[in-house]
Structure 1
Amino acid sequence: MKQVNGHQVVQLLEQFSPKYLAMEGDPIGLQVGALNRKVTKVLTTLDVTHEVVEEAIKKGANFIIAHHPLLFRPLKSINLETTAGTLVEKCIKNDITIFAAHTNLDVARGGVNDMLAEALELKELKVLVKTYEDSYKKLIVFVPPSHASAVREAITSAGAGQIGDYSDCTFTTEGTGRFKPGSEADPFIGERGTPEEVQEVKIESIFLASHKNKILKAMKSSHPYEEPAYDIFDQSIQGEIYGLGRVGKLEDPVELGEFAEDVKKKLNIPALRVTGDPSKKIKKVAVLGGMGSKYYQTAKFAGADVYITGDVDFHTAQDAEAAGISIIDPGHHVEEVMKKGLSEELEKRAKKEGLNVEFVYSELSTEPFTFL
C-alpha cells in the first residue's frame, strides 16, 4: 500500500467533487495546515468545532474534510483569545489539516443532494438549479496502424468515449497521411527534408470538457509521433448538467402529513416545520440541503408538490404557500448525511488505488438547536 499525503487525499476528493463545481466566492479548499504532510486517517464532518477536533485527536485522524468551511469569512487576525483563534491553534498544535468541500460537494453527482434524495427514496432524479454544464467535445487524432489500439485504449481509459451507460466509444477510418519532416525534426517515420506518404488511422471519440487535459496527456504519451496531428471540435449535444438540489418522484403518492413523518424518520430528526394541507397528495418532491428557501419558485416550476430545504423564513413560507407549493423545513443540519456518505466513497476510491489511508466519519452532532 502506498503512503499518502494531503495532495493525494485532495486528488481523491476532487475525482468525486471537483473544485470547479463550487459556486463563485465559496471558500473551499485548504483552511488550516499543509497538504505536503503524511496523512494516515481522515475524518469527515459537517462542521469543525472544538469537540470535532478533539474527536479527530482521539481517533488518530490528522486530516479533516468538512462540508461547512471553518473560515467562511477571512480572519483579520488570529487572536488566540477568540473561539476561532483557539480552534486554529488546536489544529496547528496537533498537526491536523482542515480542508473544506462545500458547494462543490452539494453539486457533485453522488454528493449531498443526491445523498438526501437517496435517503428519501426519490426516483427519476433531475437537477433542481443548474449551475454548471460540462460540454461535450470531439477528439480526432491521426495514428499509424501499428499504434492505433494503444492510442485508442489510452484515451478511453482517460475518459474519452463515455456516452450515457456506454464506454470506450470510438470510430476509426483508414487513409493516407502526408508530411515532410523539417531539418530539426526527429521523425518516427520518414527522413528529414523528404516528403512522405504513410497509411494512418483516424480515431474519433467524444469526451467531456472537464477531461480534456487528462485525455490529451494520455493521447500524447501513447502516440509514437514527435508532433501528433489532432483536432478538437465542439459538439452540439447537451453535456452533463450539474447543480444544486434534486427533483424526483415517490414510488406512490402519499399525504403530506404522512410524508413529513417519513422525512423525520429517514433523515433522523426529532422535529420539522411544514406548510400546507396535511391531507394534500404528494408525488413529486424537490430537495436542497442547507439554506435553499430562495429556490421555492424553481421547485414549483419543476412541478414539485413539496420542497424540502432548511432555514426557511416566515415570509418565504407564506409566499410558497400562496404559490401552491408546500414546504418541509427539516433544518440545515440534515446535511450531516454527507459524513458517512463521503467517508465511504473516499474509502472505496482509496482502496481501488492502493492508498494506505483510512477514512472515518464524525459521530458527533453539531446541531446547535435543541428541540423541546
Structure 2
Amino acid sequence: MPALSDVIAQLDALWPPERAEEWDAVGTVCGEPGAEVRRVLFAVDPVQEVVDEAVRLGADLLVTHHPLYLRGTTTVAAATFKGRVVHTLIKNDIALHVAHTNADRADPGVSDALAGALDLRITGPLVPDPTDPAGRRGLGRVCELDEPLTLRALADRAAARLPATAQGIRVAGDPDRTVTRVAVCGGSGDSLFAQVRAAGVDAYVTADLRHHPASEARQHSPLGLVDAAHWATEWPWIEQAAAQLDEISDRHGWNLRTHISRTATDPWTAHAASASPSSTPGAPN
C-alpha cells in the first residue's frame, strides 16, 4: 500500500496547487506523510457528517472539493465545528486533502464532470487558462448538444441527472427557446457572464445565480439560465476524481479502495413553493 505522501504527490499532479486562485486554501490539511493509505473517500464538503462517514468506512484519506479553512483560523479547538472535524480526523488517523479552484481549472476538471453528467459535448473552456498551450484547461466549459433541446428540456435533464436538492432547478428565460450551445460552470458562476455572452451560447448551466447579475444577463440577450444548487453542480466531480485515482492505483499496483460520499451536504433542507404571480398579495389582477 502507498504512503500518504505518494498518494498526495499523484493528486497534486492531477490538480497542481499552484493553479489555485490566490485566495484559495488547497492542499493537505492534516495527515502523517508516512502513513499507509488503503481507503480513500471523496466528497464535496469537509463537514462533520462526511468525516463521520470516513470513520465508519475506515478511510485513511478524505479528499474534498471545498476547503475546511478557506479564510484561515487561529484555533482548532473542538468547541468549534471545524475544530471538531480536525479532532475527529486526527483521532482516527484520517488525512484531509483539498482540491478546489485548482480542480476547477484542471483538464478534466469540475466543469468537465458537470458537462458529462448532462451529456454535453465539450468544445473548449469558457475562460481559457493562458498557461495551457493546448487550450484545454480553464474555468467552465463551452459545449454543444448532439440534438437541440428546449430550455425546459435542458432543465429537466439537469433535474434528472444531478443530485436532488431542496432548491431543485431554477430557470430564467423562455422555456420553449431552442438550445444547441451551452456553457457550464460547476459552482458559483455569475461572475462569468461576460465570457458566457462572448461564447455565443443559448443557455448557461451553473449555480448560485444572484438577482442582479442574472437580471442584467437577461437584459443583454435572450440567454437561458439554468440555476442548480452549488453542491449538486460540483458533486459529479467526485465521481470523476475517484475514477482518476483508481486509474493511478491500478497503474502503480496500489490496490486502493476508493469510495464516493453520497451524503447530501447541500445546506438547504426544504423548499416551499411560492404562489403564482397573479395570486401574490399586492400583485395587479
Please report the TM-score for the alignment, with normalisation by the length of structure 2: 0.89
Find out whether 1:293 has 2:181 as its counterpart: no
- C-alpha deviation, 1:337, in angstroms: 1.0
Which of 142, 148, 151 does residue 253 from structure 1 map onto? 148
Report the counterpart of residue 363 of structure 1 in structure 2: 262
Flag structure 1 segments of 5+ consecutive residues without an equivalent. 136-238
SS of residue matched to 1:250: strand
Report the counterpart of residue 52 of structure 1 in structure 2: 50
Find out whether 1:320 has 2:209 as its counterpart: no
- C-alpha deviation, 1:125, in angstroms: 2.1
Find out whether 1:113 has 2:78 as its counterpart: no
Flag structure 2 segments of 5+ consecutive residues without an equivalent. 272-285
Q: What does residue range 1-372 of structure 1 map to in structure 2 within 5 Å?
A: 3-135=1-133, 239-269=134-164, 271-324=168-221, 325-334=223-232, 335-372=234-271
Deviations 1:36-57 (A, max 9, x none): 2111111111011111111111
- C-alpha deviation, 1:18, in angstroms: 2.2
- C-alpha deviation, 1:17, in angstroms: 2.1
Inter-partner Cα distance in structure 2 for 1:23 and 1:242: 14
Please report the TM-score for the alignment, with normalisation by the length of structure 1: 0.69
Inter-partner Cα distance in structure 1 for 2:61 and 2:188: 27
Q: State the AA in 2 paired with 1:366.
A: T
Contact kept? 2:20, 2:101, Cα under 8 Å: yes
Inter-partner Cα distance in structure 2 for 1:89 and 1:124: 42
Q: Which moves more between the two structures, 312-321 or 3-12?
A: 3-12
Contact kept? 1:320, 1:326, Cα under 8 Å: no
Check 1:327–1:72 CA distance in 2 against 1; reply closer, same or farther (3 A cut): same
Identity %: 33
SS of residue matched to 2:137: strand
Inter-partner Cα distance in structure 1 for 2:57 and 2:80: 26
Check 1:90–1:124 CA distance in 2 against 1; reply closer, same or farther (3 A cut): closer
SS of residue matched to 2:129: strand
Q: Which moves more between the two structures, 355-364 or 98-107?
A: 355-364
- C-alpha deviation, 1:97, in angstroms: 0.8
Contact kept? 1:42, 1:63, Cα under 8 Å: yes
SS of residue matched to 1:133: coil
- C-alpha deviation, 1:285, in angstroms: 0.2
Deviations 1:113-160 (A, max 9, x none): 10111111112421001234234xxxxxxxxxxxxxxxxxxxxxxxxx
Structure number with larger C-alpha Rg: 1
Contact kept? 2:115, 2:122, Cα under 8 Å: no
Q: Which is richer in strand?
A: 1
Q: State the AA in 1 paired with 2:197.
A: K
Question: Cα RMSD (Å) of the superposition?
Answer: 1.5
Contact kept? 1:125, 1:249, Cα under 8 Å: yes
Report the counterpart of residue 190 of structure 1 in structure 2: none
Deviations 1:66-112 (A, max 9, x none): 10011111111222211111111111111111110111111111221
